[in-house]
Amino acid sequence: MPGRLCFIQPAMAEQTPRYKTYDSPAGGWGAAAATAKVLIEQSVVGKGSRALLSMNQPGGFKCPSCAFPDAACTKKLEFCENGAKALAHEATKFRVTRDFFAAHSVTELMEQSDYWLEMQGRLTEPMRYDAATDHYVSVSWDDAFALIGRHLRALESPDQAEFYTSGRTANETAFLYSIFVREFGTNNFPDCSNMCHEPTSRGLPHSIGVGKGTVILEDFDHAEAIFLIGHNAGTNAPRMMTPLVEARKRGIPIVAVNPMPERALIKFTEPQDIVQMATFGSSAITSEFVHIRIGGDLALLKGMMKVLFEREAAGETVLDHGFIAEHTSGFDALRADIEAQAWPDLVEAAGIDEAQIRRCAEIYIRSNATLICYGMGVTQHQRGSELVQQIANLLLLKGNFGKPGAGISPIRGHSNVQGDRTVGIDEKPSQAYLDRVRDVFGFEPPRAHGHHAVESVEAMLAGTAKVFIGLGGNFVRAVPDTERSYDAMRKLDLTVGIATKLNRGHLVHGRDALILPVVARSERIETAKGEQFVTIEDSMSNVTASRGVLDPASEHLLTETEIVCRIAMATLPESKVDWASYIDDYDLIRDKIAQVYPALYEGFAARIQAPMGFHLDIPPRRRVWATPNGKANFLVLPGLAVNAPVYDPAMLRLATVRSHDQFNTTIYSYNDRYRGVYNDRMILFMNADDIAARGLEAGAKVALETIGTDGVARRVDGLTIIDYPMSRGSVAGYYPELNPLMPLGFYDKTSGCPAAKSIPVRIVGAAD
Ligand SMILES: Nc1nc2c(c(=O)[nH]1)N[C@H]1C(S)=C(S)[C@@H](COP(=O)(O)OP(=O)(O)OC[C@H]3O[C@@H](n4cnc5c(=O)[nH]c(N)nc54)[C@H](O)[C@@H]3O)O[C@H]1N2
Ligand SMILES: Nc1nc2c(c(=O)[nH]1)N[C@H]1C(S)=C(S)[C@@H](COP(=O)(O)OP(=O)(O)OC[C@H]3O[C@@H](n4cnc5c(=O)[nH]c(N)nc54)[C@H](O)[C@@H]3O)O[C@H]1N2
Ligand SMILES: [Mo]
């Protein structure tokens, strides 16, 4: 079946897969060794090690990996194993040149794995697809911009173009991009956030008036209990392990809720703790591990709330009645919903016993300041936005907002995904914001909502979208339904990838296609006005400066900001915006951000001079609620299902997760150390009883098929079953290899976020 070839991730043929249990603590010497190994592999031991000294330090650059904030003014090194991998792959000595493209046709490159593409190194000059030869050939920057301008101006409507952003883009660039696209005339802003924390951005405002976390790093020092729901900090936000280890040392309870007992949640050695490293010691992280069934979090949260109401009914005071009366609305409706839930149903849906739900509630009751952190295990379900609201409900019941040590903390993904949203990457912008854009820039922005990520693929399939521009990222590998998404991209007139590294998105392209290589986060930006810096906003709303320290990978690279400005100049000759001025002077961009967002960014250019930057106002920290009724709202999600029920006894729920050696679609290696997997990514993690119940054995090769409702067959072959302590009925495998199993229409309707953690699948037997 030729169409399916495109999904196969060629294995590392020369190395045999190995699977063995990992018993050591996470972190520690394993992390130190992995850091050294990746610097050696990318041949950047000296350069990379020097750059790491500047990472997340005042005057240096922000880590290009995750969005966790840095500890203020510590003298410590502020990087982790996975930050080092991100840096090493960016600073790599390997290069993709015009000779490389001359040697490989696009059809040949499609046969290579994502890993192989990544390992070829940094892109060095702009390239244009030549259909006559099926090769990318070099193109001048002027011609590249002219081609984009021609295509965009030729569209019948600006809504025929899709403008994607990935969350590594800095505030300054994202802001200019949002202004350009709106002056061009559309709100089509598919964004990586649409597949990530969009349920936070869309769900939370109804609860507490802001779609962001309310916690700052110091809150970890004051929390009396911490809940970690559905995220894998040891791999995806490793710097978060430092405050977690500190919290454990203070003896406060930490509850981890996860269908996979992730290693770093259980035991961790801080690579920066000299004593622990020398003595091979470690800290236990969680005091309570909740082995939840996929999607069972709703039942757990409702069960905990039920215990609270039971205790109140028995005459105890466990709720914060003063807070509820003064600050909230909707309490009675919530209580009615929770009291209507029966214990057997809660236990069945959560997949854990009643005693454990009661223990979790007890921990919550005893704590005067509770912090709840969560990740993709919460957001990537069909009712992810409403699930986030249930976390807010639980916190509101004990007034856990606006006091030290308490609050809600979405652990964001990309280093500036939150910032991009704040500065205008939003397919559903508010009218007030659009008014400010009009007043500051003097053009009338479009008022209708644009497309989110899934809608943009639907528009491509329908033939209404003609042009795709990707400011970073690897859209076609990140979105669901790989086969259809590839078809969608191939229908386009023009695809543009603005990128540091070659990826699949450049190979699955439109009739015309461009690859535009950029200066990376760790590299210096020199313009006619001298050295420039950019800014990012982390997961806890701190805005900080990022100054690259390395030389750009090639003299032919442009900065992302210049690329956006020159696309705008090539597309909008009559523009009201002085694009040329922004290419050289980033303070001018910051002045405009301050004008469009006075409440958040007043005095931006001056405030950013502080070594640790500044914190954006989060009203719930002051117990101020920017909701229509001025209150924090208890919101009811009836029932116990966060995904549509499937009536098939063979059904398993599949979570697509990240390994320890990948950054989203970037594959650093085929190993996943903490889960004991080596040289393989075509894995199905499965509970021993689920394996036995199907008459299967660990090590067997099987295929998975989606249980769909739209009549489209979706199947992935060649997965090896690993006997792994998953919760019953829950299986896991790797993203993006399993994206072909995700139906495009399988997403949270409130936010558009694909339900990548709860795909209904069945095993269809050995098929290798
Ligand atoms: N090194 C590295 N760092 C990264 C990334 C990376 O790929 N590599 N990606 C970045 C990005 S963009 C993001 S969004 C974040 C992602 O970081 P995470 O949110 O940690 O992402 P995942 O690995 O996709 O899955 C998280 C966890 O959800 C659990 N889970 C699955 N289903 C459920 C469920 O129903 N309930 C519960 N409670 N848990 C469930 C899985 O077992 C897994 O441990 O990390 C960011 N940081
Ligand atoms: N099945 C499944 N699908 C998922 C997820 C899941 O858990 N399961 N997670 C979703 C989530 S949370 C996210 S955030 C998305 C991620 O989706 P994306 O953000 O689109 O994907 P990335 O893999 O982070 O993008 C990697 C590419 O970005 C480019 N790049 C790197 N640094 C820079 C830079 O500084 N500038 C520019 N211009 N380009 C750069 C490189 O060329 C690299 O190949 O995927 C989503 N898809
Ligand atoms: Mo993400």
Give dist(CA 107, CA 130) in Å, integer.
Answer: 12
Using the 3D structure, point to which of 355, 389, 411 is the last residue of a domain: 411
- Residue to probe by mutation, ligand 1, list 241, 757, 759, most atoms within 8 Å of CB: 757
User: Residue 273 domain-assigned?
Assistant: yes
User: Which residue has the CA at smallest separation from atom 1 of ligand 1?
Assistant: 236
**Residue 96 pLDDT more than 50?**
yes
**Residue 320 pLDDT more than 90?**
yes
**Residue 495 pLDDT more than 90?**
yes
Q: Report the relative pairing of strands 701-706 and 759-763 from DSSP bridges.
A: antiparallel
Does 349 sit in the ligand 1 pocket, CB within 6 Å? no
Confidence of residue 10 (pLDDT cuts 50, 70, 90): very low
Summarize the confidence of residues 721-739 as an average pLDDT: 97
For residue range 417-452, list pLDDT tens digits in order.
999 999 999 999 999 999 999 999 999 999 999 999
Contact residues for 338 (Cβ-Cβ < 8 A; gap 6+): 302, 305, 306, 309
Task: Look over the chain and give the mean of its residue pLDDT values, rounded to a whole number.
Answer: 94
Lowest pLDDT segment from 55-69, 399-413, 457-471: 55-69
**Residue 394 pLDDT more than 80?**
yes
- Residue to probe by mutation, ligand 1, list 192, 228, 232, 255, most atoms within 8 Å of CB: 232
For residue range 189-247, list pLDDT tens digits in order.
999 999 999 999 999 999 999 999 999 999 999 999 999 999 999 999 998 998 999 99
User: Residue 12 domain-assigned?
Assistant: yes
Confidence of residue 283 (pLDDT cuts 50, 70, 90): confident
Cβ of 692: how many Cβ atoms within 10 Å?
A: 12
pLDDT at 7: 43
Encode burial over 400-435: b for 16+ CB neighbours within 10 A, e otherwise: bbbbebbbbbbbbbbbbbbbbbbbbbbbebeeebbe
Q: Report the relative pairing of strands 370-374 and 715-723 from DSSP bridges.
A: unpaired
Cβ of 611: how many Cβ atoms within 10 Å?
A: 11
User: Residue 666 domain-assigned?
Assistant: yes
User: Residue 736 domain-assigned?
Assistant: yes
Contact residues for 253 (Cβ-Cβ < 8 A; gap 6+): 225, 226, 287, 288, 363, 367
Tell me how many domains the chain contains.
Answer: 2
For residue range 740-756, list pLDDT tens digits in order.
999 999 999 999 999 99
Read off the CATH number of the domain in which 358 is found.
3.40.228.10
User: Which residue has the CA at smallest separation from atom 2 of ligand 1?
Assistant: 236
CA 309 to chain CA mean position, Å: 35
**Residue 616 pLDDT more than 80?**
yes
Confidence of residue 21 (pLDDT cuts 50, 70, 90): confident
DSSP-H helix ranges across 237-273: 241-249, 263-266
User: Which residue has the CA at smallest separation from atom 40 of ligand 1?
Assistant: 377
pLDDT at 264: 86
For residue range 111-156, list pLDDT tens digits in order.
999 999 999 999 999 999 999 999 999 999 999 999 999 999 999 9
Q: What's the CA-to-centroid distance between 509 and ligand 2, angstroms?
A: 17
Cβ of 40: how many Cβ atoms within 10 Å?
A: 12
Beta carbons of 533 and 546 less than 8 angstroms apart = yes
For residue range 63-82, list pLDDT tens digits in order.
998 899 987 545 566 678 89
User: Which residue has the CA at smallest separation from atom 35 of ligand 1?
Assistant: 294
User: Residue 419 domain-assigned?
Assistant: no
**Residue 90 pLDDT more than 60?**
yes
Lowest pLDDT segment from 27-36, 235-244, 355-364: 27-36
Q: What's the CA-to-centroid distance between 190 and ligand 1, angstroms?
A: 21
Summarize the confidence of residues 169-174 as an average pLDDT: 98
Summarize the confidence of residues 101-118 as an average pLDDT: 97
Does 621 sit in the ligand 1 pocket, CB within 6 Å? no
**Residue 294 belongs to domain spanning:** 198-411
Beta carbons of 300 and 259 less than 8 angstroms apart = no
Using the 3D structure, point to which of 350, 384, 411 is the last residue of a domain: 411
- Residue to probe by mutation, ligand 1, list 298, 376, 666, 761, most atoms within 8 Å of CB: 376
Confidence of residue 768 (pLDDT cuts 50, 70, 90): very low
For residue range 639-697, list pLDDT tens digits in order.
999 999 999 999 999 999 999 999 999 999 999 999 999 999 999 999 999 999 999 99
Q: What is the 3-state secondary structure (H, E, C) of 615-681?
A: ECCCHHHHCCCCCCCCCEECCCCCCCCCCCCCCCCCCEEEEEECCCCEECCEECCCCEHHHCEECCC
The overall longest dimension of the chain from CA atoms, in Å, is: 80
User: Residue 433 domain-assigned?
Assistant: no
User: Residue 709 domain-assigned?
Assistant: yes
Using the 3D structure, point to which of 411, 434, 456 is the last residue of a domain: 411
Summarize the confidence of residues 347-352 as an average pLDDT: 97
Which tokens hold the place of 706?
């989606």
Read off the CATH number of the domain in which 679 is found.
2.40.40.20
**Residue 737 pLDDT more than 90?**
yes
Summarize the confidence of residues 21-39 as an average pLDDT: 84
Give dist(CA 620, CA 243) in Å, integer.
Answer: 22
Does 231 sit in the ligand 1 pocket, CB within 6 Å? yes
Q: What's the CA-to-centroid distance between 617 and ligand 1, angstroms?
A: 27
Paired strand residues for 707: none
For residue range 583-615, list pLDDT tens digits in order.
999 999 999 999 999 999 999 999 999 988 999
Summarize the confidence of residues 506-527 as an average pLDDT: 97
User: Residue 280 domain-assigned?
Assistant: yes
